[in-house]
Structure 1
Amino acid sequence: MSYPSGPGQQPQQPPRGDSNTLSIVGIVLGCIALIFCPPGFGIAGIVCGVVAKNKGERLATTAIGVSIAGLVVGMIIGLMFFQGMYSG
């Protein structure tokens, strides 16, 4: 049963679901992409970041940026590693 609020009082609203779960998952996947399987983890991090941005999460832009950086830098590191390994 709800009671009306008194004069001059704001009605109480339920707390917003202000979670950054997908953004944090995207950031973690972007960091993992630096070391291990950049295409897989980098793209998964970007997808999590975009979904988080559509949900309005605060850290979504950071997640997208970290995931793109992890994808690009991880690919460069992998290319340098394998090129050095097979160049003799």
Structure 2
Amino acid sequence: MTAPPDPPHGGDPPAGWSQPPPYPQPPQQRRPADQVLSIIGFVCAAVAVLFVPIVFGLAGIVLGIVGHSRGEPLGKWAAVAAGVGMIVGFVLGYLVVSGSYA
């Protein structure tokens, strides 16, 4: 048995030769501007405390979960903050409404 010959220099390699696989690309680093969904989720959490907690709270939770699934590190915290903001908004709304009928 003989070893296969070295590939020729220059030009295309013969049919039996192949190129090595390309190196894997390093993962892209996310910039702070890429956390748009998480930031909007935090804004919805703050708004849910004072205005329509069911709408803004749920919107913040959904935006936080979607942001987290897309790799935003603050996504889960935006969802948690929106949930807390929604609950605080409900309690605050209940206290305002019950106090006005007293």
Q: TM-score, normalised by structure 2?
A: 0.68
- Relative contact order: is structure 1 or structure 2 higher (C-alpha 8 Å, sep ≥ 6)? 1
Matched, 1:60 2:72: no
Give CA deviations for 1:31-85 in whole Å, capped at 9, x if unaligned.
Answer: 0000111001000000100111110101101101110111000000000000000
Q: Which runs of 5+ in 2 are unaligned?
A: 1-22
Give the aligned partner of residue 52 of structure 2.
37
Identity over aligned residues, as a percent? 37
Change (3 A) 1:12 1:47: closer
Q: Equivalents in 1 of 2:51, 2:100: separation in Å?
A: 17
Equivalent position to 1:28, from 18, 39, 43: 43
Alpha-carbon RMSD across the aligned residues, in angstroms, is 2.1
> 1: distance between equivalents of 2:81 and 2:64?
9
Shift of 1:12: 7.7
Higher helix share: 1
Larger Rg: 2
Q: How many matched pairs?
A: 78
Cα distance in 1, alignment partners of residues 27 and 58 from structure 2: 35
